[in-house]
Chain A
Amino acid sequence: MRKALGIVVVAALAAAAAGWVLTAPNRLPDARFSGMTGDPAAGERVFTAAGCASCHHAPDASDDEKLVLSGGQRFVSEFGTFVAPNISPDPEHGIGTWGLSNFANAVMRGVSPSGRHLYPAFPYTAYAHMRDTDVVDLWAYLLTLPASQVPSEPHEVAFPFNIRRGVGAWKLLYMSDGWVLDDVPDAQLERGRYLVEALAHCGECHTPRDGLGGLDTSAWLSGAPNPNGTGTIPGLTPDRLDWDAGAIAYYLESGFTPDYDSAGGHMVAVVESFAKLDAADREAVAAYLKALPAGGDMD
């Protein structure tokens, strides 16, 4: 009896230890970015496609103020309210002193410079697929933006979601190195996949989430309830969005739907970004969406 109990205790300790190890923040190898230098001009395109400003500019910013990444926009969810932090180059309140390696770990692994898990309101599950050169260029560009001394506000997240180790377990379930759409037979589809699945992180709003807040990739881009309250985020799969590829590309350029209604809500920021990219990028996104299976069922 005592022996059996001992085995149970040892097993429980082993499981706990394994869990502790598995949920630990997983940093990229420090050497991965050594010797690389970024091109700020190329980084600006990455910045635009990734929509960084949309969430990190001040709540009421307009026009050029949107390049001051002082944070403060609030994102309400069923797990709590997340407040976008200051990611301007300010050395005290922003991320100016981080250095490339820390920045890459935040973007691609969701790990802070102090080694804590970041909340996945920051779409690092998408950015994990970014090319190294794009991350390096993005970092070079961010350092050219104006510094802001507005302090970051704490997230308003209650127990148990305030236990950051829980985010480690969440990452084990939902972070993947693989693409959702496996088969991309040509360069345009590959570019479209990179824009949709990695940079523009479309799935964050257009894909439904399960009870733990992970994306349900068996219903990829098939539409979802609006995370910020009322209404529905529309589905983008061919059975849900019957626009032709030209209409999708024009929407991303102008904000006009085929019947000349216009984009609203957060899509306004997304369209503003896509309008700045090359026409080929908008066409690539359209081609990718048209290549999705009905209902986003990837199985």
Chain B
Amino acid sequence: MTRLLTAATALSLGLAGAAMAQDYADQMKARQGQFRILAINLGTLGDMAQGKTEYDAEAAQAAADTLVAVSMIHQPPLWPEGSSTAEMDGTRAKPEIWTDWEDFASKWAGLGEAAGAMQTAAGEGLDAIRPAMGELGGACKACHDSYRAPRN
């Protein structure tokens, strides 16, 4: 009987946890979507930088402008407390984001700076894009170093 009660309690707690996590599914999808937009536009620029596609100043500029636009999205609403790997499935956001919020925010600001540098470089040709691409890679890594959990 006791065991049954314990199991029932555990189950209901589990369900409650899952229900609570559900509440932040939209925020999670939104933040993952913005990273996806970044990746697609980094792809446009990176494929040019690697010589996989021909350099196209207009396409490069549009991609760089998009990176800047994403970097300007106000982040706090997308990262509510209680939406880390500790509370939700489907996310790789580590709890350290919330314990070191200021540092996390400065890493996002770093993306903004790197995107701005790419915005300046994009129209100037491949020799300008390559180092700007390196800077963007640095901004991504700087944050993923501490705040993104490995894939399962």
Q: Which A residues contact B (CB, under 8 angstroms)? A: 226, 230-234, 246, 250, 253-256, 259-265, 268-269, 271-272, 275
Contact = CB atoms under 8 A, between A and B. Distances in A.
Contacts of A232: 150-152
B42 A268 contact: no
B141 A262 contact: yes
A210 B141 CA distance: 31
Interface stretch (B73-81, B119-127, B132-140): B132-140
Given A254-B137, A268-B145, A260 B42 contact: yes
A255 B152 contact: no
Contacts of B138: 255
3 A-B pairs with least C-beta separation: A231-B150, A264-B144, A262-B140
Contacts of A264: 141, 144-145, 148, 150
Interface residues of B, number: 22
Given A230-B85, A265-B144, A255 B137 contact: yes
A245 to B, nearest CB: 13
B33 interface: no
B11 interface: no
B149 A230 contact: yes
B122 to A, nearest CB: 16
A268 B137 CA distance: 10
A260 B150 contact: no
Contacts of A275: 134
A265 B143 CA distance: 9
Q: Which secondary structure characterizes the binding site on chain B?
A: helix
Interface of B: 38-40, 42-43, 46, 50, 85, 133-134, 137-138, 140-142, 144-145, 148-152
Contacts of B149: 230-231, 265
A255 B50 CA distance: 13
Given A230-B85, A231-B150, A254-B133, A260 B141 contact: no
Contacts, number: 65
A219 to B, nearest CB: 19
A106 B88 CA distance: 44
A24 to B, nearest CB: 39
B32 to A, nearest CB: 11
Given A230-B150, A272-B141, 10 more contacts: A230-B85, A231-B152, A232-B152, A250-B50, A259-B43, A260-B43, A262-B137, A265-B149, A265-B150, A275-B134
Contacts of A234: 151
A265 B152 contact: no
Contact of B39 (A261, A268, A269): A261
Given A256-B46, A260-B39, A260-B46, A268 B150 contact: no
Contacts of B140: 255-256, 262-263
Contact of B141 (A230, A233, A268): A268
Contacts of B40: 260
A245 B42 CA distance: 20
A163 B38 CA distance: 51
B150 A226 contact: yes
A209 B35 CA distance: 34
A208 to B, nearest CB: 15
Contacts of A230: 85, 149-150, 152
Contacts of A246: 50
Contacts of A262: 137, 140-141, 144
A203 B72 CA distance: 40
Contacts of B151: 231-232, 234
Nearest to A233: B150
Contacts of A253: 134
B34 to A, nearest CB: 14
Contacts of B144: 262-265, 268
Contact of B148 (A226, A255, A265, A269): A265
Contacts of B141: 255, 262-264, 268, 271-272
29 contacts: A226-B150, A230-B152, A231-B150, A231-B151, A232-B150, A233-B150, A234-B151, A246-B50, A254-B46, A254-B137, A256-B46, A256-B133, A256-B137, A259-B39, A260-B39, A260-B42, A260-B43, A261-B39, A262-B137, A263-B141, A263-B144, A264-B141, A264-B144, A264-B148, A265-B150, A268-B142, A268-B144, A271-B141, A272-B141
